[in-house]
Structure 1
């Protein structure tokens, strides 16, 4: 009799809170949904406002300074706002702690635990994570029925998990429209994506545990097993949580870095499983029209499918033409375990400086694609225009009817890049030709044209990113269309073999008219094989043994500063951190020094 009574009590006081919206404070859930989306939207509007102000200010500086000689750009050299240098030094450009930012934290040669976010990124992430925790646990803790409280936790965590999936999927895409709109790098969005994903996993796990707690109390473990195996609503939700947990453990930095190519493919499959099971979970609830979160899951599927569709169309447009066929890549093995890759696209493609693209090759892990900085771009007129214009000067309209060649330098590390180099090396020829595909270009939203002074730091193959700026800057200087009057390129390389990577392009840069008036090149060879290799070609192209003192170089450039200065860096994390630190050291009201870092953290 007592057993029957306790079962009846459980059915009356516990079971109603196991499913449905009993005990769920749906009105508060929707308020927190609005708070979360509005806070992210307001953040985007703030960034957009700042970007519009920056664009307007740089346009004003560009127009007013492009006709000025170097000595007359003093107005733009001095900071117009006394608080800006301190803000740059202590927040915008500051690493999370001390100096380390993009230098990887390694436990051993095989274990990499990733990088630290910047101070500004840490503030944004901290506010986001804290707000989710507050929303999660803003509950009626005075509720005496702990199963009713568990139901409220279940409803809140489930709502937040789905609500967070919407920005999670937006920030994951390469074709994210916020990248060009807000001029924020994909690298930053990828950081936010990783942390949003972790929050979704935590909220989904809490959601599942809260349901299991009530279900087991109401009907025992046998009922729990029955539901996760045979009831569509519960089985889909439980399956989605398991997939999220698997994805979480695979995404941990040591695992992700050790098996990155495998992780990428598994990540896509698991993400699709998670979206599908969550959609089924929301649609199969015993409520009219399913759970209230069902429209969000439909939106997530549309966003995910649209981004994949955009990538597919972009890939097809770039690499196939009915008249010229498919893209062909010429791969040249070079000293220093590097490959120089030139992709001959079958159509004209507008490629700006500072861009990168994802590339893949037939016969070299064709399912894999990786990002590489674009070093050089050549536009070719079609055959008819070549006959009409035998000189090498062609109109823009003629070039737009032709084709484009895009070049990269790819260092052979492991996996895909090593296979590429080995394939070219064992052929016995100076180069090989394979069918290939390029997706992009991406990024390239940082213009240097409004700055009177540009300092470009490159480490190893990072020269490709900086090289892409040289020709446009020198040409713009000759045409009188930019404000830049001084460009300093600092390239840190292991040995002089690296010069072969970019020799044909650098020779063309060095032959450009008035190059000596604007460009200074400083080459630092950290491990020269022979001291006789260290030869300075002229006062504007100098070579030095050993590692450079970044701080000394920056101080010297500031002493000779022309107008506003921009400092960019592309290379290993340690070099990027040194340049970041040096830029912070020279911040003052007496000069304007902006900093741009090109990185692919993963």
Structure 2
């Protein structure tokens, strides 16, 4: 059984019986000192152990670099928040102070504007998908940094050494082995980072302020990098053990039968499965939920196989496991606390939230479901989303949804409103259940206990997660919101939040919403009514584009939508919006018709105006930016991937770092729903 021990392969050219000292090396096999082998073998061992020791130092440098960047990022965030101008100014005359402050402000604004000009558009979509050049630049920088540490500190050479008890047979020892070990060590060292990049309860988000989904791209591609490193490690040692060491096939067969090698083969097979299943093809073939569950299981078994392959590097595996377990525990804990409320019996316990269902039938594109419910909890921030699990469907699946309702800070109970389109899988199952319950609730003959005249569905929340879109919004920013389909849930809270506050007369605001059918407006009719009533800046700037008006003409009667049948009421823009007011606002009492510019449908007779109406996004953005009075422009967008990609290029084009530096306008920022990149 001695030949099955993990370290046998790294000790077989050392004479253990002649050892006077056993020299420990962190992360590697102990070395026998002095070396009593032939001169070539001893020189080779010098290179092997020196390269490994340097590699362990280099992994420390890699993690020190990552930690240093995060610390500087956190300090910079705190400093810039405390000093918006970016620099504490010395005491001088008011004129000098103002000049310097203006110069610093222009510089700190021009730099990110220049960056958006060149780094905001999508990179190669064929290779990377719909991600910005910023993310690809980050990946390229990381890969370049890792490549440097993969090669430096290795003594390159070749040594021909005799094989004991085999006259005329020689081994070829080279630096292929030390190099293969180096990339393998770095692959182990990157494992905790890969898990940190995938965590929903993200430590990286706490430090950087970036939402956890911003790291999904790096997590996926870092996995590809680890697979490449592991492949190089495997191929390198296969060349050494199956070709350069003699005699063959005796040496090769003895090597592959060792326990540490069996675990190494298992780890590579698992890593191959992880990579294949994480590709777009793999996700489509298995389905996202199946991919996600398989990914968790395979990743944990892979870490176990890595432990079995080389236990000495568990220093990198244990932190990865700890990060993953903390992430899962915090998720469960947050969900439990969010739903720990009073039960109907009067006792405290876990209780799902009962949501009222509004069902919108759409056989062609997929039915749409709206959920509304009140839940006792603290307010979330505009732009954040919740993961929702439907116990009546499956307790093993949850989906991210952005609430279109406005959170109210200080309130004991928050109103939640969500809309989603059923495509397949769990959402299709929930839509079918919603359709049945809606039909039963509408049937006066059906007195099923528990419906109480309304169709209801139990939901379990987890969150909130994501970016706080209003946190860094300037008071004089001009707001352009662009949404496609159910993406309206991401931009509506931004407008509702602005409508609930005192409004800047010079601030320009506009909403552009692209829908397939005229009836889709009814999804959010109460919220549109509130914006019409409360938001003075937005009254004449709500534009809805109906892209399939021809289908409406052939399949639907020419009758007004719920939103368009409403009756106007007086406007009181200073009244604060609350969840109660939102709940009481209905399309039958508040008009949105005069606030809507519906393209593709004539509003007078509801006859066809254009068969197809799609907005020219470039023209819309350029005209909006050029017509602003002052201040920067913030574009909020959510919708199909093509819409987001187009907007990235358009917003990059209207940014002008030179214009900002010269004191002119040209600072245009884009905030989009990154969850669409999943």
Q: Is the 8 A contact 1:496 1:525 kept in 2?
A: yes
Shift of 1:121: 1.5
Shift of 1:192: 0.4
Matched, 1:202 2:222: no
Matched, 1:339 2:345: no
Q: Matches of 1:366 and 1:321 in 2, distance apart?
A: 20
Matched, 1:96 2:123: yes
Shift of 1:29: 0.3
Q: Is the 8 A contact 2:434 2:457 kept in 1?
A: no
Matched, 1:310 2:330: yes
Pick which of 358-367 and 145-154 moved more: 145-154
The verdict on how the C-alpha distance between 1:130 and 1:59 changes in structure 2, with shifts beyond 3 A counting, is closer
| 1:429 match: secondary structure | helix
- Aligned residue number for residue 264 of structure 1: 292
The verdict on how the C-alpha distance between 1:12 and 1:416 changes in structure 2, with shifts beyond 3 A counting, is closer
Q: Matches of 1:15 and 1:219 in 2, distance apart?
A: 19
| 2:310 match: secondary structure | helix
Shift of 1:585: 2.3
- Aligned residue number for residue 408 of structure 1: 418
Q: Where in structure 1 are there 5+ consecutive unaligned residues?
A: 1-9, 61-74, 106-112, 284-290, 380-395
Q: Is the 8 A contact 1:92 1:119 kept in 2?
A: yes
Q: Is the 8 A contact 2:370 2:419 kept in 1?
A: yes
- Aligned residue number for residue 487 of structure 1: 509
- Aligned residue number for residue 64 of structure 1: none
Matched, 1:173 2:199: yes
Shift of 1:366: 2.5
| 1:144 match: secondary structure | strand
Q: Is the 8 A contact 1:15 1:214 kept in 2?
A: no
The verdict on how the C-alpha distance between 1:15 and 1:192 changes in structure 2, with shifts beyond 3 A counting, is farther
Higher alpha-carbon Rg: 2
In the superposition, the TM-score normalised over structure 2's length comes to 0.71
Shift of 1:339: 0.9
**Of 247, 267, 275, which residue of structure 2 is paired with 1:240?**
267
Q: Matches of 1:558 and 1:269 in 2, distance apart?
A: 49
Matched, 1:360 2:389: yes
The verdict on how the C-alpha distance between 1:543 and 1:140 changes in structure 2, with shifts beyond 3 A counting, is same
- Once the two structures are superposed, what CA deviation does each residue of 1:502-552 show, in whole Å capped at 9, x if it has no partner? 12232233333xx22455311111112248869796664322121111122
Q: Is the 8 A contact 2:406 2:497 kept in 1?
A: no
Matched, 1:444 2:467: yes
Q: Is the 8 A contact 2:480 2:634 kept in 1?
A: yes
**Of 209, 212, 228, which residue of structure 2 is paired with 1:183?**
209
The alignment's C-alpha RMSD in Å is 3.3
Q: Is the 8 A contact 1:175 1:311 kept in 2?
A: yes
Shift of 1:434: 3.2
- Aligned residue number for residue 449 of structure 2: none
Q: Where in structure 2 are there 5+ consecutive unaligned residues?
A: 1-9, 17-27, 31-44, 87-100, 161-171, 343-347, 442-453, 565-590, 601-612
Matched, 1:321 2:341: yes
Matches within 5 A, 1:346-495: 347-377=376-406, 399-400=411-412, 403-427=413-437, 428-429=439-440, 432-447=455-470, 448-477=473-502, 485-495=507-517
Q: Matches of 1:151 and 1:272 in 2, distance apart?
A: 28
| 2:392 match: secondary structure | coil
**Of 510, 514, 517, which residue of structure 1 is paired with 2:532?**
510
Matched, 1:295 2:315: yes
**Of 580, 586, 593, which residue of structure 1 is paired with 2:654?**
586
Shift of 1:266: 0.3
Matched, 1:566 2:634: yes
- Aligned residue number for residue 614 of structure 2: 547
Pick which of 347-356 and 264-273 moved more: 347-356
Shift of 1:38: 3.3
The verdict on how the C-alpha distance between 1:214 and 1:89 changes in structure 2, with shifts beyond 3 A counting, is closer
- Once the two structures are superposed, what CA deviation does each residue of 1:75-133 show, in whole Å capped at 9, x if it has no partner? 99x98238437623433323225xxx6xxx6xxxxxxx871432221211112122223
The verdict on how the C-alpha distance between 1:189 and 1:85 changes in structure 2, with shifts beyond 3 A counting, is closer
Shift of 1:208: 2.8
Matched, 1:129 2:158: no
- Once the two structures are superposed, what CA deviation does each residue of 1:381-430 show, in whole Å capped at 9, x if it has no partner? xxxxxxxxxxxxxxx66x33xx3332211111121221211121133235
- Aligned residue number for residue 522 of structure 1: 543
The verdict on how the C-alpha distance between 1:198 and 1:583 changes in structure 2, with shifts beyond 3 A counting, is same
Q: Matches of 1:422 and 1:88 in 2, distance apart?
A: 47
Q: Matches of 2:274 and 2:560 in 1, distance apart?
A: 50
- Aligned residue number for residue 288 of structure 1: none
Q: Matches of 1:328 and 1:222 in 2, distance apart?
A: 66
The verdict on how the C-alpha distance between 1:46 and 1:116 changes in structure 2, with shifts beyond 3 A counting, is farther
Pick which of 85-94 and 330-339 moved more: 85-94
Equivalent residues, number = 529
Q: Matches of 1:223 and 1:308 in 2, distance apart?
A: 45
Q: Matches of 1:26 and 1:355 in 2, distance apart?
A: 45
Shift of 1:141: 2.6
Q: Is the 8 A contact 1:150 1:210 kept in 2?
A: yes
